[in-house]
Structure 1
Amino acid sequence: MLNLKPEDAQKRLITMRKLIVLMAIIFLASCSEYQKILKSTDYGYKYEKALEYYDQGDYMRASTLLQELISVFMGTDRAEEAHYKYAYALFKMRDYISSVYHFKEFVKRYPNSEYTEDARFMIGVNYYHLSPNPRLDQTDTNNAIEAFQLFMNLYPESPKVEEANKMVEELRNKLVYKSYLNAKLYYNLGTYLGNNYQAAVITARNSLDDFPDTKYREELSFLILDSLYIQAVNSVPEKEEERLRRTLDEYYAFINEFPESSYLKQANRIFEEVTKLLKKYN
């Protein structure tokens, strides 16, 4: 801690006060200037100031001006740029719902614009940011994937294709994780109000069919094996043998694909129990 002399401390305090006053003056002057711009009917000047605010990263002021100028300059090149930068300003302010709406509107109005390629990409990016926790509804996740796929189909040579692919992979993993959580929920419900193990198997298989390269493939595959096993050992006598053999087939498929699986001990225990129970049918 600095030990300042009383006179030095007083000087520092005065300097700080001067800085605060100066900053307040600058802020008020800035506000005053902005209010004048808002009230101005010189739309060319407004447009220049909107772009200036945009370039400075003052997206709140830029977006307010650009929103007005879109309709003022309708049918001109300025309207095109104003609309594009307005949508981008909304994105920068993290208003993803409004941003995706205006990027979509931009694409409809200006399908051949120099900004259209990036606008289509930004539709996907906005939905990517709107994509929620895997436990919640995944409509925006699906919207993001569809938007990126359309972008990559339309612009296969775009330098942003690699980035789009990475986001699509992440989004797909989110979808399959949600599916895994659903399958796990059915598994945990067990026989409550019906045979939830069968629902777990169906959900997990659908996930593997839709996303064969998922990083959750091992977890889903073991969940199928374990669910089949539990169904088999709790079967009525007339269905037991068939279900045990299905479980055995699933076991061989599992260890063939995942010979070093972290679930190997549990899988081998299932194998031992199933082969023991099948002896009475041989």
Structure 2
Amino acid sequence: MVLAMTICRWMPHGRRSTITMSGGDTWMRPSTWKSSSSTTLDRPSDSAQYLLAESHFEMDEYIISASEYEKLISQYPRSPLVEEGEYKLGLSFYELSPKYQKEQVYTDKAVEMFQLFIEDFPNSMLVSEAEERILELRTKLAKKEFQAGRLYHRMGEYKAARLYYQSVLDNYYDSEFAEESQLLKADSWSDEKEWAEAQAAYQGYLIRYPDSDRVDYINRQIEYVKKRHQEQLAKEAEGERGGVFRLFDPKDE
């Protein structure tokens, strides 16, 4: 006689599986019994975790892929897959980086992750690609600051404009927007008729960029603001003298 039975799925974590036999009797398997593969099922291997992250990346689900790459790095720090996983973590944030006009949270995060990757794997074949990505992302960040400065400049908000120009000079001095920021910073002082500050800023330009093709123009600007500054000082001195004379004007007696 063939014994027929139906086996229900064995559920872990305190539940019991049920085996129903042909006669209607049941037998309960204790939940403490575990198969030899239970540990593997509870926690995927490093390769499985990597492939999971890769699948989300290939489906353009970059927020999820970033989370899965982070799990790979934190759960399997000694895995040979961590090198590429750390690079792809940065690449996930890179793909999430929006146009420069928008908030750049993901751009900052991508730069941070690529820099960390270079520090952790300085001999990796992917370092050159990471460096190229960093340059591209930093250029975007510099452009955002620069364009904000120009906007305030056109609005006549010179102090605010200079804050953004200075941000480019301090944080993105190696970007293509740094030289123009130094020039426009000087122009903003000139537009505000702050001649002494304008002269100092133009001279600062020559110090930073002595080989620029704008050197002749900058020198002319320096002469112009220097002349205007001298005129301003002379006018102020004349006004002070006039004020003294008025104090002792006999007509006032």
Identify whether the pair has TM-score above 0.5, normalized to the shorter chain: yes
Question: In the aligned structure 2, how far is the partner of 1:113 from the partner of 1:279?
Answer: 70
Q: Which amino acid aligns with 2:88?
A: M
Contact 2:100 2:144 in 1 (8 A): yes
Max Rg structure = 2
RMSD over aligned Cα atoms: 2.3
Aligned residue runs from structure 1 range 149-160, under 5 A? 149-160=115-126
Render the CA deviation track for 1:76-110: whole Å, top value 9, x for unaligned.
Answer: 5xx32222111111111211111111111222221
Q: Give TM-score scaled by structure 2 length.
A: 0.70
1:117 and 2:83 aligned: yes
Select the residue among 36, 42, 49 that pairs with 1:74. Answer: 42
Counterpart in the other structure of 2:150:
184
Identity of counterpart residues, as a percentage? 29
Equivalent of 2:74 in 103, 108, 116: 108
Q: 1:216 aligns with which of 163, 177, 201?
A: 177
Which residue in the other structure is 1:45 paired with?
none
Q: Which residue of 2 aligns with 1:134?
A: 100
Amino acid in structure 2 at the alignment position of 1:204: Y
Q: 1:98 to 1:264 in 2, by over 3 A?
A: farther
Change (3 A) 1:264 1:96: farther
Q: Hey, which of these two has a bigger chunk of helix by percent?
A: 1
- Shift, 1:134, TM fit: 0.6
Equivalent AA in structure 1 for residue 41 of structure 2: F
CA contact (8 A) 1:255 1:261 kept: no
Q: Which sections of structure 2, spanning at least 5 residues, go unmatched? A: 1-8, 10-38, 235-253
- Separation in 1, partners of 2:79, 2:212: 53
Match of 1:64 in 2: none
State how far apart, in whole Å, the 2-side matches of 1:258 and 1:135 are. 32
The alpha-carbon deviation at position 72 of structure 1 amounts to 7.1
Pick aligned residue for 1:170 from 133, 136, 141: 136
The equivalences for 1:1-282 within 5 A come to 73-75=41-43, 79-190=45-156, 196-232=157-193, 243-256=194-207, 257=209, 260-261=212-213, 265=217, 267=218, 270-280=221-231, 281=233
Letter in 2 for 1:74: D
Q: CA deviation at 1:259?
A: 5.1
How far apart are 1:174 and its partner, in Å?
0.8
Contact 2:168 2:177 in 1 (8 A): no
C-alpha change, 1:75 and 1:86, in structure 2 (3 Å) is closer
Shift of 1:276: 3.0
| In 1, Cα distance between equivalents of 2:52 and 2:173 | 40
Question: What TM-score do the two structures reach when normalised by structure 1?
Answer: 0.63
TM-superposed deviation, 1:268: 5.8
Distance 1:259 1:162 in 2: 29
Amino acid at match of 2:185: I
Distance 2:90 2:211 in 1: 38
Q: Distance in 2 between matches of 1:114 and 1:74?
A: 22
Which structure features the higher share of strand residues?
Answer: 2
Given that 2:206 and 2:215 are in contact with CA atoms closer than 8 Å, whether structure 1 keeps it comes out as no
May I ask how many residue pairs the two structures share in their alignment? 195
